[in-house]
Structure 1
Amino acid sequence: MTSAERRASGALALVFALRMLGLFIVLPVFALEAARLPGGDDAARVGFAMGLYGLTQAFLQIPFGLASDKFGRKPTIVAGLLVFAAGSAVAAWAPTLDWLAAGRALQGAGAISAAVTAFLADLTRDTVRTKAMAMVGASIALMFALSLMLSPWLAGLVGLSGIFALTCTLALLAIGVVLFVAPAEPAQHKPAEIGQVRGHALVEVLRHPGLLRMNFGVFALHAVQLAMWMAVPAMLVEAGLAKAQHWQVYLPAVVASLFVMGGVLFPMERKGKLKLVFLMAVGLLAMVQLGFWWASSDVQSFGLWGLGGLLFVFFIGFNTMEASQPSLTSRLAPPHARGAALGVFNTMQSLGFFAGGAAGGWLYHSHGAAGLFIACAGLIALWWLVVAPMQVPAAAAKRA
């Protein structure tokens, strides 16, 4: 990477980290803390309030992506972070569950993932883009693990309203990073160039076979990620690890998997074997689901080390996909429609979260952990079949 690419990758990974920490840190305690508000005695309404974030985000990823193509990356990202901060402020103030749900919906309306990813793609060459995306993916994975450590402590210290106030502060800090740390935008995406984006960009993106494969993949990945967490925490408890100590498994698994992913993905990509790594990672994810299915029949015999090993392998596959899928999407997309393509991509990611939560909860309730993991393995197997025929574009030395 050049110094400019390192600066861009570090700055935008930090933007993602600040925003995703603000999102993740509330999840472990949301249901318990929201139950104390008027209206919080209805578990279905609490779940709806928590899930509204993903739903509004899914609807607005494409508009934000298109806006970034037309009006510029930085103005779009700043606008989205302001909306996210406003939603956090509403949630921090919320006197009832209905107001908390409104705050969550407004948080989700700041759907900047596509714009940030497109901005990173603008600022990096094809040859290093997967590494740049990996920095973003690593920041997200680490924020998830960090949130599991901090959330219970913060809930006891400042409560749910204090946690949402913290997310508002983190969003405002991210705005500072965008304005004063991130490099300037490439000329083709400055506001002065409004009008260059072709009107049929979205249609072009929706008809692109390679992009359709990426969109299905990101949907499957995040549907499985959320669905499996319906059962994994209970399995860890059954194996003898108290809920407050789950980070002791998650954090080492995440950190170790990042080293393995970096040691395999980047050298293989340089050798032109990205497709092989891609398919191997999808295969690993399917094997992990089958491993959890096997473990679910006798968790105590399988043991905590066995579950930790499965999570380690899961995060290897997951982090590989988190790095390679956005990179491939940005390379497959026509340059004039990169924001639109990543908008669709991130919409499918958000819909995957929503579907994983809804379907995962139903499967776990109706068919137990075994049925849940078999369904997840089946979805990943279908994903492998969908992406097996894909063609990986050669990395270009110049910026797209």
Structure 2
Amino acid sequence: MHQADRMTSSEQRAASSLAAVFAFRMLGLFMVLPVLATYGGSLRGATPLLIGIAIGAYGLTQACLQIPFGMLSDRIGRKPVIIGGLLLFALGGLVAAQAETMQGVIVGRIIQGAGAIAAAVMALVADLTREQHRTKAMAMIGMSIGVSFAVAMVAGPVIAARAGLQGVFYSTSALALVGIMLVVWIVPTPQQALRHREAGMVRSAFMPSLRNKDLLRLNYGIAVLHAILMASFVAIPLALQEQAGLPREEHWWVYLSALLLSFFAMVPFIIYAERQRQIKRVVLGAIILLALVQPMMWLGMGSLPWLVAAIVLFFVGFNLLEATLPSLLSKIAPAGGKGTAMGVYSTSQFAGAALGGLIGGAVFGAWGLGGVFLCCALLAVSWWAIGVTMSEPPYVTSYRLPLSLALAGDETLPRRILAVPGVAEAMVVAEEAAAYLKVDTQVLDREALDRVVNPA
């Protein structure tokens, strides 16, 4: 392999350390999910509604501050925003840990959500890696999120069994402090903050992103997916404990089994979706699975084996959608608009989490566990009804190609790039001296493209 094709030691350190920062923060967020419903009931003022709000409260501030913090990092630097966000997250954990009322826990969760660092982390990855390795670095972060979710589902119940809900929240603060140490001492400092349309928000692309019907369907979908997740975690821990008779200290093995089995079950579907270009079929099938598994959980609450089987199927559907929706967004987003589309997508995700906790708590208080599962099924059906109208997406990949200043100013360049076989979209940004492309890699004439963007 040519030396230029390898990540440098600095790039490897940047990608791995930022993936760890992201993982520690998401681990702190997710650890609370499997234990808040079962351990939070002993707090003063706890009601089903307030427990649900506490589960999803972080999503409210996360949704509001995600995009502004990303833009702030363009002005004052990535590291100050990331460190500030992690400090807020640690503070929120301390507030929640010391709270004696459910209202205090909600305040702590809201503060935790205010540490919205995802956009700044993604922008820092773009600053610290070269074009040919950026996708690899982003994939490492994506994998770290998946791993952190799996670890959190096991670690939350284990820590709570030994140190209570307070110990879980103290652990989230400790993880945030570890993240800060990584940012200060391990993550490289970039020479300059780059404006990168594939990794950050661009104001001119914001309204087009909101007007794109396919992206709107996707944003609704990710909001529903995380609303279902949060509402489900109002009900699933209580169903395991109160209906199936499994002590809360033993819930960890259910989540571990479900996540491991679901991981192996979803891999063939991901491969099929990409290789056979059937991502729409796979997404709609996973949504149907989410809808069908909810009444299965409701009807099987009294049987532990039945309920565990339903939870496994739930995670198959959830993890499959969590893995395929970003790929779908990458295909749908216009050239040069992926970063903006991803910002809106992430905001929708966190807004859905906040709404899901609220809905789950309110429905549980009014209609019990069965009502929560039925509500989640209806949410999934609404998503399917919207998703079935989407077209099969173009199977294209996003490219960003650096250009010489002279070539970037050539007004005929976009037309000449579009004439290359396999190029579906092209956008030249003269001030960045870069071209943003959407290409079909199966038919792309790479030599012809290289002749256009690197003339002799």
TM-score normalised over the length of structure 1: 0.79
Work out whether 1:142 is the aligned partner of 2:147: no
Between structure 1 and structure 2, the one with the greater Rg is 2
Work out whether 1:394 is the aligned partner of 2:395: yes
The equivalent of 2:46 in structure 1 is 43
Aligned positions of 1:23-102 closer than 5 A = 23-27=29-33, 41-43=44-46, 47=51, 51-67=56-72, 76-91=81-96, 101-102=106-107
Q: Deviations over 1:115-174 (max 9, x none)?
A: 445666896789879965751442243133223333324425xx72x5444323312322
User: How many corresponding residue pairs?
Assistant: 385
The equivalent of 2:365 in structure 1 is 365
Work out whether 1:348 is the aligned partner of 2:348: yes
Summarize the Cα distance change of 1:102–1:334 in structure 2 as closer, same or farther, 3 Å threshold: same
Q: Deviations over 1:326-382 (max 9, x none)?
A: 333344335655443333222222222222222222223323333332322222122
Summarize the Cα distance change of 1:294–1:27 in structure 2 as closer, same or farther, 3 Å threshold: closer
**Larger helix percent:** 1
- Indicate the larger mover: 119-128 or 167-176: 119-128
Summarize the Cα distance change of 1:325–1:140 in structure 2 as closer, same or farther, 3 Å threshold: farther
For 1:77 and 1:113, locate their aligned partners in 2 and report how far apart those are by CA, in whole Å.
8
Structure 2 residue matching 1:229: 3-state secondary structure = helix
Structure 2 residue matching 1:362: 3-state secondary structure = helix
Q: What is the root-mean-square deviation in Å for CA atoms of aligned residues?
A: 3.8
The equivalent of 2:237 in structure 1 is 233
Summarize the Cα distance change of 1:333–1:357 in structure 2 as closer, same or farther, 3 Å threshold: same
The equivalent of 1:313 in structure 2 is 313
**Larger strand percent:** 2
The equivalent of 2:416 in structure 1 is none
Q: CA deviation at 1:113?
A: 3.0
The equivalent of 1:155 in structure 2 is 163
- Indicate the larger mover: 376-385 or 123-132: 123-132
- Please tell me the residue identity of whatever aligns with 1:25: M
For 2:196 and 2:276, locate their aligned partners in 1 and report how far apart those are by CA, in whole Å.
39
Q: Deviations over 1:164-222 (max 9, x none)?
A: 4432331232244456666887x9xx526599975333222211222211110111111
Q: CA deviation at 1:66?
A: 3.7
- Please tell me the residue identity of whatever aligns with 1:152: A
Summarize the Cα distance change of 1:371–1:194 in structure 2 as closer, same or farther, 3 Å threshold: closer
- List alignment gaps of at least 5 residues for structure 2: 401-435, 437-456
Q: Check whether the contact 1:84–1:106 (CA below 8 A) recurs between aligned residues.
A: yes
Out of 224, 241, 246, the position equivalent to 1:220 is 224
For 1:68 and 1:327, locate their aligned partners in 2 and report how far apart those are by CA, in whole Å.
26
- Indicate the larger mover: 168-177 or 255-264: 168-177
Q: Percent identity?
A: 40
- List alignment gaps of at least 5 residues for structure 1: none
Q: Check whether the contact 2:23–2:145 (CA below 8 A) recurs between aligned residues.
A: no
Q: CA deviation at 1:56?
A: 1.6
Q: Deviations over 1:302-339 (max 9, x none)?
A: x2222111111111111111112233334433565544
Q: Check whether the contact 1:129–1:327 (CA below 8 A) recurs between aligned residues.
A: no
Q: CA deviation at 1:18?
A: 0.6
For 1:352 and 1:169, locate their aligned partners in 2 and report how far apart those are by CA, in whole Å.
27
Summarize the Cα distance change of 1:330–1:126 in structure 2 as closer, same or farther, 3 Å threshold: farther
The equivalent of 1:254 in structure 2 is 259
TM-score normalised over the length of structure 2: 0.70
Q: Check whether the contact 2:67–2:343 (CA below 8 A) recurs between aligned residues.
A: yes
For 1:133 and 1:274, locate their aligned partners in 2 and report how far apart those are by CA, in whole Å.
22
Summarize the Cα distance change of 1:321–1:77 in structure 2 as closer, same or farther, 3 Å threshold: farther
The equivalent of 1:282 in structure 2 is 287
